[in-house]
Amino acid sequence: MGKLFTLRFYKYFIQLLLIGALIFEGKKIDNASVTTANPSHIIFIENQWDEALKQARLQNKYIFVDAYASWCGPCKMLKAITFNNEKVAAFYNSNFINVSIDMEKGQGPALAAQWQLQAYPTLIIFNPKGQAVLGTVGFIKADDLIRFGKQALSK
């Protein structure tokens, strides 16, 4: 009798674990979809200026460019602080095609020369045709970045 009870107990215990795992996994999926729908950071296209231009034309949106260098302290602060602000994320993700470009790799050096960049981070907003509208250099706080975006959209 003892062995039979033990086997049944383990059988039910394993079933409960599996059901619990499925329920837990389902909650993770639901939370992931909520996070994707309302991200708490700016969603960037990485190092693909041509793709950003294409998307801007298709969606008739302005382009927000984060021109950075991997060694740049203020660039890292922007990514860690300002770009992770929920208000900034909501504003930029809904109003812009966002692209982050390492100006020392891939297309970066050619774009840096074309745009005549002198320092990093440089933040530039382009219209859907790829023409620069507004730019700024250096670290910028969340409220100031939202004002910067609104100013560019009004031009």
| Averaged pLDDT of the chain | 85
- In a shared domain, residues 59 and 133: yes
Per cent of the chain over pLDDT 90 is 74
Torsion angle in degrees (nearest 10) through CA of 152, 114, 42, 121: -90
**Spatial separation of the C-alpha atoms in residues 125 and 113, rounded to whole Å:** 17
Reported as a single tens digit per residue, the pLDDT across 110-130 is 999 999 999 999 999 999 999
- In a shared domain, residues 63 and 138: yes
- In a shared domain, residues 31 and 59: no
**Spatial separation of the C-alpha atoms in residues 12 and 28, rounded to whole Å:** 24
- In a shared domain, residues 106 and 62: yes
* Domain, as residue range, for 10: 1-37
